[in-house]
Amino acid sequence: MAVIALVGCSGSPGVTTSSLALLLSWPLMQGRRMVLAECDPDGGSVLYGMLQGSLGDAYGLRHLSVAARRGDFEETFWRQLIVMDEVSQDRLILPGLTDPAQAAAMAPAWEQLAALFGRIDQEEQHDVLVDLGRRGAFGPSDVLAQRADLVVVVARSTMRGVQAARSRLEALREQFGELGVLLVGTGPYRASEVERALHTPVVATLPYRPELARVLSDGAPAPRHFARSELMRAANGASTPLLQRAVLRRSRLSPAAVQEGGSGAR
């Protein structure tokens, strides 16, 4: 069980689309659940993308800003989740802000949300994906990345994508230490080449399939056997290395590890 934060960069292929692919394909044992939280201060896209506005803005992150002040934060959080699988009810989404202007009111909620994700992971034995978009790992919401077991940058395998990822990784590494890359294969560079260029492990890769991605990003009709498509099979396979690296990093940063190795042991 882990809390994994995904971060975008200029020219990234879509943190939310990648996060949704992971959510819907992540293997879950009996009793386990997966929560995806859209925490991009610039606003989310699930409500009017994949869900096509069918629920309006009745659900979402913005409702937590009031709950953070009145003292019923956790109860409100669970009421704001949307069940993506009505049969098993084990894949849940917290939709993001519908207007970037709403981010200013979220200041008291970010810390509480980070603490809640930790409790969901440790006490409920659920995995949590945090979609931070391009800006969420900086500013008031950066506590979500600080508390995550692993921070992963989503990048394209093109020259422009690698350069954008290099700049973002340099900025993030000072704050969060060990990072990973989720590589979307849109260009000529292999994962091993990207690793060497970025000095950062490519934890997993996803294929670039725009027609399949539109099912997740824009609610386009799903083709037959979408769940077994190349994109979703790759997302399923990405779950193991992401989870393993998150658990390994958590073990290194555990109180015992910090006591033995010093506070800088990242």
For the chain, the structural domain boundaries read: 3-255
Task: Report residue 40's pLDDT band, with 50, 70 and 90 as the boundaries.
Answer: very high
**pLDDT by residue (tens digit) across 93-119?**
999 999 999 999 999 999 999 999 999
As a whole number of angstroms, the distance between CA 237 and CA 192 comes to: 18
Q: Which of 159, 37, 56, 179 is nearest to 94 (CA)?
A: 37
pLDDT above 50 (res 36): yes
pLDDT above 60 (res 218): yes
As a whole number of angstroms, the distance between CA 245 and CA 247 comes to: 5
Q: What is the pLDDT of residue 255?
A: 55
| Sign of CA pseudo-dihedral 243, 247, 252, 253 | positive
Percentage, residues of the chain above pLDDT 90: 77
Q: Are strands 202-207 and 34-38 parallel, antiparallel or unpaired?
A: unpaired
Say yes or no: domain 3-255 is CATH 1.20.120.850: no
**pLDDT by residue (tens digit) across 134-166?**
999 999 999 999 999 999 999 999 999 999 999
pLDDT above 60 (res 18): yes
pLDDT above 90 (res 37): yes
Task: Report residue 264's pLDDT band, with 50, 70 and 90 as the boundaries.
Answer: very low
As a whole number of angstroms, the distance between CA 18 and CA 53 comes to: 20
Tell me the pTM: 0.92
